[in-house]
Chain A
Amino acid sequence: MIKQLCRKMFRKSLWVYHANSGGCNGCDIEVLNVLTPYYDAERFGIKLVGSPRHADVMLCQGPAMRPTAAALRRAYEAMPEPKLVFAIGSCACGGGIWHDSYNVLGPVEKVIPVNYYIPGCPPRPEAILYGVALALGLVEKKMCPVTLQQRRLPIPRYHPESLVGTGIEIVYKDAEKV
């Protein structure tokens, strides 16, 4: 539903605003890498703007921290509707490696609603470009939750009653897998 809405709303160029709420600048460098001619995000009409009032998309880097959470919230509210929020990097997606520090609130979705997540520490420029292309509907999503189950016990279970014989030889009768 969000994808269809995006296709409808963002048919024209996306202007992105780049908000760092306390990251280490690793993701900032990768985002600026995306804007270089080598990766050239302007093919998709993406342009970096300096003010959240001009922007359609907010690229969040860094966790939501106690000093910057209010500023992040204000920047989000200053953006005109409709708006998208990208969480770039593992700090913005899940709180980062210092998630249990005293002034880290956690992921940015604790402060503002997030539409797309790009994990990585930092994510490759291609990964950021892939996330943007995903939002624009150019590529398919590749991820889904995985559950792996061991259906059977890998080695025979021990049952004391299935031991036969005493003394020298002990035969383990039910050796098949449970």
Chain B
Amino acid sequence: MSLLSKIRETVLCLKAGRVTLPYPAEPRPVPPRFRGRPIFDAAKCIGCAGCANNCPAREILVHDICQELRIIQYLGRRCTFCGRCADVCPEKAITMSHDFETATNAIADLSQRLELFMSTCQRCGRCFPEPSPLERLKLKGYRFDDVASERWVFHSKGYLDTESTVADIRIDLD
């Protein structure tokens, strides 16, 4: 009896077939609306930093080196792939890819760094209007996130401390 039940079980198992996916050997497609790693496009990006201001995990850093050069750095360490950066981007420079095979042995492999030229206003010669104290509270204007130690700085300044790199642009300090 027990031998018969064993045979019956074997037949049942053979009838079920193989369900295990051959995953690491063969690629596995994802659902069409799957949100994987965001991919930044430097050619389309205008440097508005909307993604940095809307990131819930605060993983996108913005650093203004000088008046016309802005660095946007996506760190990707605690990114939850929520897609808010792609939603808010006015130029559609961020796309959520289907890329989920992001396991690494170094966490810095996940970062993406954009070095952008900011074009100046033709009237005032600045990249941004000078913010009022109220706007400064709302984190507009020049941003000084700490790219070297990968930290988000909460209080951005309304002016650039450093000397202007381009001679024909004069920055009025308050």
Q: What residues make up the interface of A, taking CB atoms closer than 8 Å to B?
A: 2-3, 37-40, 43, 90-91, 93-97, 99-100, 107, 109, 115-121, 123-124, 126-131, 133-134, 138-139, 141-150, 152-155, 157-160
Contact = CB atoms under 8 A, between A and B. Distances in A.
B119 A153 contact: yes
Interface residues of B, number: 48
Interface stretch (B1-9, B75-83, B132-140): B75-83
Contacts of B11: none
Nearest to B108: A145
B20 interface: yes
B78 A157 contact: no
Interface of B: 19-21, 23-24, 28, 30, 40-43, 56-59, 68, 75-82, 99-117, 119-120, 122, 125, 168
B126 to A, nearest CB: 11
Contacts, number: 154
Given A91-B78, A142-B101, A146-B40, 15 more contacts: A38-B21, A40-B20, A94-B79, A94-B107, A95-B78, A96-B57, A96-B78, A117-B110, A119-B102, A121-B82, A126-B100, A145-B108, A149-B42, A150-B117, A154-B117
Contact of B103 (A38, A116, A149): A116
